[in-house]
């Protein structure tokens, strides 16, 4: 009886060890397939083996490099038509899968954003972060007309409104960030605009929108026109006068007003209005 028990225990132990060995071998094979799989010769990517295609019924003709007869030509034409249809079907399947991957990626990013640590940062701290990032990207220009010491103490870097850069980029991230961006006047109380004769109208609306978001803070405004030795047309002069009219209502809040190379008649708007 004791021998029988030992035999049973030994058999059970052997069976357990065999299962463990098979499991370990299976796991090793899976790891080996991942680690030692060769890149695909067609796409140069490592993936699971593709399903083998049915061999061509015309392989002998291809191998012999001979001209097919009339009946073979018609059959080859039908075979090519079917192959092209299969290609189209698979390309459509790839497009569908790519759309599904894009949707899954968006879903993943949305859910990761919910639990991201930055979501727990208070809005006032985010606003300060925005200000620091905007200052980093701002263009600091020291003009000889300003005392260097006064510049360093009182003149903050002027922000150029450029898409996909601070502060505009903050509004592209999420609705919460956009709300913080729009409700932080310090992001909007400085602006540096490069005005071309052709694009000055766009800058008028941009400058007006920018300054409206600045609340009641002191303003630092720099407007400079690209150098042009030709005499500006009357239309260009009127456009730059419109720029001056845009910033004139904010004159009481001007801390720094830096105007460079604007057409001389543009300054007539300021006469008697300051």
Residue 5 in domain: no
Residue 266 in domain: yes
264 in the same domain as 148: yes
132 in the same domain as 207: yes
166 in the same domain as 218: yes
CA 263 to chain CA centroid, Å, is 38
227 in the same domain as 177: yes
166 in the same domain as 99: no
139 in the same domain as 74: no
250 in the same domain as 185: yes
Token readout for 20 is 């463990």
Report whether 243 contacts 222 (CB < 8 A).
no
Strands 219-225 and 190-195, sheet pairing: parallel
Residue 36 in domain: no
Q: Which long-range contacts (CB under 8 A, 24 or more apart) does 85-88 make?
A: none
155 in the same domain as 240: yes
- How many domains does the chain contain in total? 2
208 in the same domain as 155: yes
Residue-level pLDDT, tens digit, the chain, 274 residues: 444 444 433 444 444 444 444 444 454 445 444 444 578 777 788 878 778 888 888 888 888 888 999 999 999 999 999 999 999 999 999 999 999 999 999 999 889 988 888 888 999 999 999 999 888 877 544 443 444 444 444 445 677 777 778 888 999 888 889 999 999 999 999 998 887 766 677 778 888 889 999 999 999 998 888 766 567 888 888 888 898 999 999 999 999 999 888 888 888 888 877 7
* Domain, as residue range, for 259: 121-270
pTM: 0.55
Domain limit, last residue, from 114, 135, 151: 114
157 in the same domain as 262: yes
- Helices 200-212 and 234-247 pack at an angle, to 10 degrees, of 0
Kindly give the residue spans of alpha helices, DSSP state H, lying in 115-247: 123-137, 148-154, 175-182, 200-212, 234-247
164 in the same domain as 82: no
110 in the same domain as 171: no
Residue 212 in domain: yes
Alpha-carbon gap, residue 237 to 232, rounded angstroms: 7
Token readout for 247 is 């910033």
Residue 224 in domain: yes
């Amino acid at each position: 009886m004791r021998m029988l028990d030992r035999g049973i225990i030994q058999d059970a132990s052997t069976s357990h060890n065999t299962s463990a060995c098979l499991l370990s071998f299976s796991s090793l094979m899976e790891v080996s397939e991942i680690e030692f799989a060769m890149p695909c010769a067609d796409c140069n990517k490592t993936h699971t083996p593709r399903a083998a295609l049915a061999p061509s019924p015309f392989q002998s003709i291809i191998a012999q490099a001979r001209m097919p007869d009339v009946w073979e030509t018609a059959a080859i034409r039908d075979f090519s038509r079917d192959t092209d249809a299969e290609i189209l079907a698979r390309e459509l399947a790839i497009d569908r899968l790519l759309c599904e991957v894009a949707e899954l990626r968006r879903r993943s990013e949305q859910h990761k954003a919910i639990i991201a640590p930055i979501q727990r940062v208070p809005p006032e701290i985010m606003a300060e972060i925005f200000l620091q990032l905007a200052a980093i990207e701002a263009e600091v220009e020291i003009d000889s007309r300003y005392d260097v010491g006064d510049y360093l103490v009182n003149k903050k870097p002027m922000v150029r409104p450029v898409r996909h850069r601070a502060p505009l980029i903050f509004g592209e991230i999420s609705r919460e960030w956009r709300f913080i961006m729009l409700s932080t006047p310090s992001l909007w109380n400085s602006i540096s605009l490069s005005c071309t004769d052709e694009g000055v109208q766009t800058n008028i609306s941009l400058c007006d929108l920018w300054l409206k978001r600045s609340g009641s803070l002191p303003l630092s405004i720099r407007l400079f026109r690209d150098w042009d030795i030709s005499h500006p047309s009357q239309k260009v002069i009127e456009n730059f006068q419109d720029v001056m009219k845009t910033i004139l209502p904010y004159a009481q809040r001007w801390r720094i007003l830096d105007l460079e190379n604007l057409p001389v008649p543009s300054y007539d708007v300021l006469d008697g209005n300051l």
